[in-house]
Structure 1
Amino acid sequence: MQTRILGKNGPTVSALGLGAMGMSGAYGVADRGESIATVHAALDAGVTLIDTGDFYAAGHNELLLAEALRDRPRDSYLLSVKTGLLLRPGGMPGGNDARPEAIRSNLTYSLTRLGTDHVDIYRPARLDPAVPIEETVGAIKELVEAGLVRYVGLSEMNAETIRRAHAVHPISDLQIEYSLISRAVETEVLPTLRELGIGLTAYGVLSRGLISGHWTTERTTRPADSDHRALSPRFAADNVEHNLALVEELRKIAAARDCTVAQLAIAWVAAQDPAVVPLVGARTRTRLAEALPAAQLELTADELALIERAVPAGSARGDRYPSAFMANLGVGN
C-alpha cells in the first residue's frame, strides 16, 4: 500500500482510506461479521486510515469499530471521527451542535465507545451556523493540547470557513464529497486547500455506488427502507438512467485499461492531487478487494482526458443530497 501525506500539517496515511458508515446500515442491512472481516482485511492490506462519525447509527459504528480493532496495535491505524450532527428518534438528522461544550462531551463518548485514549483526526461534520468556526476549532485545539486528539480536520466547509479555521489551528485535511460527478470542490475549495497546504479526504468517490459499475435501474426501483439512496436525487427514476449512461462511457475506458469502473473512478479522484486520499466505503471483503488495486492505478494524461470527455463536470443529473440537506453543505454538487 502506498502512502500519502494529508497536507503539510497532517499525518502520513495509506493512499486509500476505509469509510465505515455503510457498515452501520446506511445503505441497507449490513452483516456485522462481514463488516468486521472487511476492517481486518483492509488493515492487513495496509490501509491505515479509518473514517467514522459519532452519529453513524447513533454510535453503533464506533462500537463496531472498537470490536474490529480490539486486537490490533493502536499505532497501526488512524481514526478519523466526525462530530456535531444531531439525530432525531428514527435516525434522521436534527441539526448541528458544534459548541465547545458539545465538542468536549462528544469526544468523551467517542473515546469510550471506540475503546481508545485518543482520536487521530477530529472534525465537525458540518458548519454550525449558530457557532463561529473559531470557537469550534478552538475547542478541538484544546483537546489536541490535552493529548486526546492528534490533528484537527474539517468536513463539508467552504473556502472562507477553511481559512478562518486554519487561522486558529493548522488543519490537517478537509473531508468532502469528491467524485467524477461531484466536482464543485474544484472551483474554490481545492485551490484553497492547495494554497494553505491542507489535505483532502474524499468521500463518495463512487457516488454511493452509482458510478461503481454495479448499480442498475432495477436496484433503484427496490431500495431497502433503511437505504439512504432511496432519498437521493441522483438515484431518482427521472435521473438514474441518465447517470448510468455516463457509467457506460466509463466502462469503455476501463475495459481498455483492463480495470473495473470502480477502480477507474477511484484512481481518477486520487490523480487530482497528491494530497487527496479517497475513502472507500466498502462493507464487504469483495468490494474492498476490488477497490484496493486503484491505489496502484496511475492514469496517463490521455486517459484523464478521455475520462473528462466521457464525464465532464456538471454532467450528472440531480443534487448529491436531498434539497433539505443541501443548505448545510460547504459547496454544492
Structure 2
Amino acid sequence: MQQRPLGRTGRSISAIGLGTWQLGADWGVVDESDARQVLAASVDGGVTLFDTADVYGDGRSETLIGGFLADRPGHGITVATKMGRRMAQEPENYTPENFRAWTDRSRANLRVDTLDLVQLHCPPTEVIEADATYDALDALVADGTIAAYGVSVETCAQALAAIARPNVTNVQIIVNPFRLKPLDEVLPAAADAGVAIFARVPLASGLLSGKYTAATTFAENDHRTYNRHGEAFDRGETFSGVDYDTGLAAVADLTAALPEGVSLPAASLAWVASRPGVTSVIPGARNVRQASSNAAAAALLEPGAFDIDAFDAAVHAVYDRHLRADIHPLW
C-alpha cells in the first residue's frame, strides 16, 4: 500500500483509507463484531487512515474505533474525525465554545488526549470563509486538543476557499468517475498549496460497485432509500447526486471498458487514488469482503498492473455522455 504525506503534518497515510460512516448509521445495521472485523481487515490490507465523524451513529463509529485502537498500541493509524453536525448547520453555532465541546466529546469517544485531525463537517460557506473559524481552530491546535485540522466540503468553491487558508491540512471532497469537477481546479490548487485531498464517496454510494440493478432495494434506514433527492441532507452525498437509472447506464458503459479480471470498484478506487493531488481515497465497508477488496485495489497503482490512462479516457467519455450536463454545474 502506498503511503503519502498528510499535508505538512509529518504524518503519512495510505493511498486508500477507510471511511466509517457505515459503522455508525444510515447504511443499515452493522453489529460491533462485524465493525471490528472491518477495521481489522482494513489494517491488515495496509490501511493507515480511518475517517469518522462525531455524528456517525451519534458517536458510535468513533467509539468503535477508539476501542479497537486501544487494543493495538503502536498501531500507526491516523484517525480523522469531523465535527459540526451535532447542531443545526447555522453560522452562529460554529463558536469556540462549541468547537471545544465537540472535540472534547470526540476525544472521549476515541480515548485520546489529542485528536489527530479534525475536519469541519460540510459547514456553511460563511463559516468556511470566516477568519474567526480558523482562529478558533488554531487555538485548539495551540493547546493540544487537536494536532491538525481540515474542512470537508460539498462544493468546489468551498474547497478553494479552505485551501487558501494557511493552516488547513486537508480538504475532503467527493471525487469519483461520476464527479469530475474537482479535477479542474481543486486538485491542482491543493497540490500547489501542500494541502491533502481526501476523496470521499469514491464509489458513489455503491453505484460504482457494479452490483446494483433497477430492482435493487435498500433498508428503510439507509440513506440510499430516504435521501435520493436530498430529503435529509445534501443530495450530492447519495449516489453523488446522480439519478439512479442514469448511474446504472453509466456503470454499464464503464464496466464494458474494463479489461478482464479488473472489477469496476477496484478500477474506480485506483483511478481516484491516481489523480494528481489526491492524497487518500476513503471508501466505506460494511463487511470484511468489502474492506479487503477496497484495500487490495491499491495494487492496481503499481506499474504495469492496470492501464489507468485507458480507464481515465473511458471515465471522461462516459461522464460527458451521461453526466456532465446535470452534474458539472452543481457542487
TM-score grouping bracket, smaller chain normalisation: 0.7 to 0.9
Which runs of no fewer than 5 residues in structure 1 stay unpaired?
A: 88-93, 321-330
User: Tell me, what secondary structure is at the counterpart of 1:259?
Assistant: coil
Deviation at 1:86, TM superposition (A): 2.9
> Is 1:241 matched up with 2:245?
yes
Kindly report which structure 2 residues correspond to 1:49-128, keeping only aligned pairs within 5 A, or say none.
49-86=49-86, 94-96=88-90, 97-128=93-124
What is the correspondence of 1:291-330 to structure 2 with a 5 Å cutoff?
291-298=294-301, 299-312=307-320, 315=323
Matched residues in 2 for 1:6 and 1:191: separation? 16
Question: Contact between 2:191 and 2:277, CA under 8 Å: does it hold in 1?
Answer: no
TM value normalised by structure 1: 0.84
Cα distance in 2, alignment partners of residues 3 and 240 from structure 1? 34
Partners of 1:84 and 1:67 in 2: how far apart?
23
Q: Is the 8 A contact 2:187 2:277 kept in 1?
A: no
Deviation at 1:154, TM superposition (A): 1.1
Say which SS state the counterpart of residue 64 (structure 2) adopts: helix
| Distance in 2 separating the partners of 1:313 and 1:48 | 36
Identity %: 27
Residue number in structure 2 paired with 1:202:
199
Task: Please identify which structure carries the higher strand content.
Answer: 1
Which residue pairs with 1:46 in the alignment? 46
**Amino acid in structure 1 at the alignment position of 2:223:** H
Q: Which moved more, 1:171-180 or 1:23-32?
A: 23-32
Alignment match of 1:180 (pick from 177, 180, 199): 177
1:141 aligns with 2:138: yes
Q: 1:317 to 1:188 in 2, by over 3 A?
A: closer
How far apart are the structure 2 equivalents of 1:45 and 1:308? 30
Between 267-276 and 76-85, report the one with greater CA deviation. 267-276
Equivalence for 1:277: 280
**Which secondary structure state, in structure 2, belongs to the residue aligned with residue 225 of structure 1?**
coil
Q: Which residue of 1 aligns with 2:168?
A: 171
Instruction: State yes or no: 1:153 paired with 2:156.
Output: no
Which runs of no fewer than 5 residues in structure 2 stay unpaired?
Answer: 230-237, 302-306
Q: Using the TM superposition, give the Cα deviation of residue 216 of structure 1 relative to its aligned residue in structure 2, in angstroms.
A: 2.0
Q: CA deviation at 1:129?
A: 5.3
Matched residue of 1:112: which SS? helix
Conserved 8 A contact 1:123-1:153 = yes
CA RMSD of aligned residues (A): 2.7
The 1:319/1:21 distance shift into structure 2, 3 A limit, reads farther
**In structure 2, what is the equivalent of residue 34 of structure 1?**
34
Taking structure 1 as reference, are residues 241 and 158 closer, same or farther at Cα in structure 2, changes over 3 Å only?
Answer: closer
Count of residues in correspondence between the two structures: 313
8 A Cα contact 1:269 1:276, kept in partner? no
Deviates more, 1:15-24 or 1:120-129: 120-129
> Is contact 1:11–1:172 with CA below 8 Å preserved after alignment?
no
Q: Which residue of 2 aligns with 1:251?
A: 255
Q: Which residue of 1 aligns with 2:290?
A: 287
One-letter amino acid of the counterpart of residue 268, structure 1: W
Cα distance in 2 between the residues matched to 1:83 and 1:235: 23
Which letter maps to 1:277? S
Give the SS at the match of 2:139. Answer: helix
Q: Distance in 2 between matches of 1:274 and 1:164?
A: 16
Q: TM-score, normalised by structure 2?
A: 0.85
Partner secondary structure for residue 171 of structure 2: strand
CA separation in 2, counterparts of 1:313 and 1:133? 39
Distance (Å, rounded) in 2 between the aligned partners of 1:49 and 1:83:
17
